[in-house]
Amino acid sequence: MSTETFEFQVEARQLLQMVIHSIYSNKDVFLRELISNASDALDKLRLAALRDDALGVDVSDLHIELEADQQSRTLTVRDNGIGMSYDEVIKLIGTIANSGTAQFAAELKEAKEAKDASAAEGLIGQFGVGFYSSFMVADEVVLTTRRAGEAEGTRWASSGEGTYTLERVAEAPQGTAVMLKLRPVDTEDQLHDYTSAWKIREIVKRYSDFITWPIRMAAEAPAAGTEDAEEGADEAPAAREPETLNSMKALWARAKEDVSEDEYHELYKHISHDWMPPLQTIRLQAEGTFEYQSLLFVPSHAPHDLYTQGYKRGIQLYVKRVFVMDDCEALMPPYLRFVKGVVDAADLSLNVSREILQQDRQIQLMRRRLAKKVLSTVKELMTSDAEKYATLWREFGRVVKEGLLSDFENRDAILAAASFDSTHSAEEPTTLKAYVERMKEGQEHVYYLTGESRQAVENSPHMEAFRAKGVEVLLLTDPVDELWVEAVPEFDGKQLRSVAKGELELDDAEAKESEAEREQRQQEFAGLLGWMTERLGEDVKEVRLSSRLTVSPACVVSDTNDATPALEAMYRAMGQELPPTKRILELNPSHALVTGLNRAHGEDAAAEGVAETAELLYGMALLAEGGQLKDPARFVQLMSGRLERAL
């Protein structure tokens, strides 16, 4: 039959060049797009057969077939789906970005056939340009197709330049076959040899493993000259058993009772490359105007690079079982970055290459719903499986607490799912709810202390009065704790308050001195406090009497609204210099060293030993809380002199 030659329109030529050179970042996706188109065609045939039995086609073995020929360097993607007529080829293939799938779905919806319209939601294509990605790897593309129910087929061919040819063909199998005449491959670039069976398997496994229809590839022929090749020389190619490349096991689309734990674990390993079983499996199915399914996994251990800047989040995005992208950051907030899994959406606003999500309302809704589901699962584990919860919080609690700084909507949910070390128990952490339930009568605040380790925090002089009175204190030792306690003002109506900041009085009645006793002590030490404030003025903003010390002679505290030294150090490490902040030195008026210093100051404030003792007292207070001395050499010199005179 005669062959006609057509020219692409100027705009179409430009768009074609964009598809080939700019839109797709990875050449491998051409095969994903062709398989997706083939899957669409099979879906269309199945639906058309339901609507019109007059087609008279066999739908018992719908499948996609891949055929590679290394000698001629061709790759063919073939399906026995709906196919296209001559006019449809002109309209759908000759005109770039005209989506037949979108039109087909629209027709089904207009027909108001509920059953068929629902099935149409399973169609993949949206933009109709994926076919042209073939020109990234091919010098020429030949498409041969015959629409189901018609006798005559159509052949379309183009080199991707300015023209394409069309001809009618008398004999063509039902469906569509796309043959790519592949470009030569550099001998050093075997990663892009698309006639290689292992490369084809890799792409199908990565992008199309969960496609509903079987994707088959003819078994590889034995290498020339081998015994197997000689024995099979007369064997017809069709006699070789084809290999099915995809699993077709979209576990998230199957009923929960139909999926075994082993199958979940295998999928988790495939997604995460972690050979340990997941700690917890989470399923979520959203229905309504926007439908999606998700299958999420909480790992049993934290990866070594969880806190590095380049850590990749583990959510894979699919659209109707077609892989779109790895590490989809838009679907999970950073503080849940350890969660692995799959999200399969029925419909999303994608760019033409299916590679970049547009920030629309659907994405935000999915992100919010997924985050809430993960947090509610963590909270449920508290009561349903304490051992699992303990493992999860030990491995990932530090990360989850980052959400207290960024996710204001879920702040209460994070606090409810969190647990903290406290002075209540050396073995079991506590929730904030349990802390509040144990609070002493009259206690108005939730007390906490931050530090580098539990041992350092427990031995801090700031804890002495709380330990003596049996008041529970949260022991916060993660670096992120320094940040979130400043951002979270209260829990359940109780203010969070540091035991190392501000002027502190315990809330119980026993700890409150009478005004007369307070005034008497203040007058007794007034001279010393004023003199030390002036003497140590370069380092402290004030010297005052303490109500938090029972054993130690002195401690250093931050003012109520000032940053702690640890927080200042964190900001400096991030390259953000903060103006230096002077702290407050508190003295224990019941300690012999302080009363002795007060007596010596009263007798002779100008004595050298009085000034040295004041300086040593401040240095000891810094060291007791794990701080750093401004001049360690001078401190050692003063201490050595004192010890020498004492001996």
Sign for the pseudo-dihedral over CA of 43, 44, 45, 51? positive
Average pLDDT over residues 166-176: 92
Q: Would you identify the CATH topology of the domain 513-646?
A: Four Helix Bundle (Hemerythrin (Met), subunit A) (1.20.120)
Which pLDDT value is given to residue 175? 95
Asked whether residue 340 carries a pLDDT value surpassing 50, the answer given is: yes
| pLDDT tier, 25 (very low <50, low <70, confident <90, very high otherwise) | low
List 164's β-bridge partners, or say none: 6, 158
Report whether 317 contacts 273 (CB < 8 A).
Answer: no
Which pLDDT value is given to residue 220? 59
Quick: pLDDT tens for 402-423: 999 999 999 999 999 999 999 9
| pLDDT tier, 647 (very low <50, low <70, confident <90, very high otherwise) | confident
Sign for the pseudo-dihedral over CA of 201, 204, 206, 212? negative
| pLDDT tier, 187 (very low <50, low <70, confident <90, very high otherwise) | low
Q: Cite the DSSP H helix spans in 479-564.
A: 481-487, 515-535
**Beta strands of 336-384 (E only): which ranges?**
340-345
Average pLDDT over residues 301-313: 83
471: three-class secondary structure by DSSP: coil
Q: How far apart are CA 544 and CA 532, in angstroms?
A: 9
| pLDDT tier, 216 (very low <50, low <70, confident <90, very high otherwise) | very high
Quick: pLDDT tens for 263-300: 899 889 888 888 899 999 999 998 877 889 999 999 99
- Stated pTM of the model: 0.76
The per-residue pLDDT of the chain, averaged, comes to: 84
CA distances from 618 to 324, 557, 613 (A): 61, 11, 9
Which pLDDT value is given to residue 2? 76
Quick: pLDDT tens for 586-643: 999 999 999 999 999 988 877 778 889 999 999 999 999 888 888 999 999 988 988 8
Report whether 581 contacts 587 (CB < 8 A).
Answer: no
Q: How far is CA 554 from the centre of its chain?
A: 46
Fold match, 419-509 / 513-646 = no
Which pLDDT value is given to residue 18? 66
Lowest mean pLDDT among 339-348, 484-493, 510-519, 531-540: 510-519
| pLDDT tier, 163 (very low <50, low <70, confident <90, very high otherwise) | confident
Which pLDDT value is given to residue 525? 93
List, as one string, the DSSP characters of 83-141. ---HHHHHHHTSSTT--HHHHHHHHHHHTT-HHHHHHHTT---SSS-GGGGGGGTEEEE
The conformation of residue 19, written as its DSSP 8-state character, comes to I
Enumerate residues 6+ apart whose C-beta is below 8 A from 477: 421, 450, 451, 452, 453, 454, 457
Q: How far apart are CA 179 and CA 39, in angstroms?
A: 17
Q: Please provide the CATH number assigned to the domain covering 3-221+239-244.
A: 3.30.565.10
The conformation of residue 162, written as its DSSP 8-state character, comes to S
Average pLDDT over residues 63-84: 95
Q: How far apart are CA 646 and CA 366, in angstroms?
A: 72
Q: Please provide the CATH number assigned to the domain covering 251-390.
A: 3.30.230.80
Q: Which residue has the higher pLDDT, 73 or 26?
A: 73
Which pLDDT value is given to residue 462? 92
What's the alpha-carbon Rg for the chain, to the nearest Å?
36
Q: How far apart are CA 513 and CA 511, in angstroms?
A: 6
Of all residues in the chain, what percent carry a pLDDT higher than 70?
83
Residue extents of the structural domains in the chain: 3-221+239-244, 251-390, 419-509, 513-646
Asked whether residue 353 carries a pLDDT value surpassing 60, the answer given is: no
Domain spanning 419-509, CATH architecture: 3-Layer(aba) Sandwich (3.40)
Quick: pLDDT tens for 477-530: 999 999 999 889 899 999 999 999 888 766 544 445 566 787 888 899 999 999
Of all residues in the chain, what percent carry a pLDDT higher than 90?
47
**Beta strands of 218-312 (E only): which ranges?**
243-244, 280-286, 292-298
Quick: pLDDT tens for 619-634: 999 999 888 888 999 9
Which pLDDT value is given to residue 178? 96
Question: Which two structure tokens, joined as six digits, stand for 209?
Answer: 């493993």
Give the count of beta carbons closer than 10 Å to the beta carbon of residue 394. 13
Average pLDDT over residues 426-455: 92
Q: How far apart are CA 368 and CA 290, in angstroms?
A: 14
Beta strand pairing call for 494-498 and 490-491: antiparallel
Instruction: Label residue 42 exposed, middle or buried (CB < 10 Å: 0-12, 13-18, 19+).
Output: buried
Q: How far is CA 600 from the centre of its chain?
A: 62
| pLDDT tier, 551 (very low <50, low <70, confident <90, very high otherwise) | very high
Q: How far apart are the first and last CA of the chain?
A: 117
Whose CA is closest to 585, among 510, 525, 512?
525
Which pLDDT value is given to residue 312? 78
Asked whether residue 230 carries a pLDDT value surpassing 60, the answer given is: no
Lowest mean pLDDT among 30-34, 351-355, 515-519: 351-355
Q: How far apart are CA 614 and CA 536, in angstroms?
A: 8
Q: Give residue for tokens 């003497």.
A: 535
Which pLDDT value is given to residue 330? 85
Q: How far apart are CA 518 and CA 437, in angstroms?
A: 32
Whose CA is closest to 620, among 581, 580, 593?
593
Report whether 504 contacts 440 (CB < 8 A).
Answer: no
- Return phi, psi of residue 366, to 5°: -65, -45
Which pLDDT value is given to residue 348? 73
Q: How far apart are CA 26 and CA 133, in angstroms?
A: 10
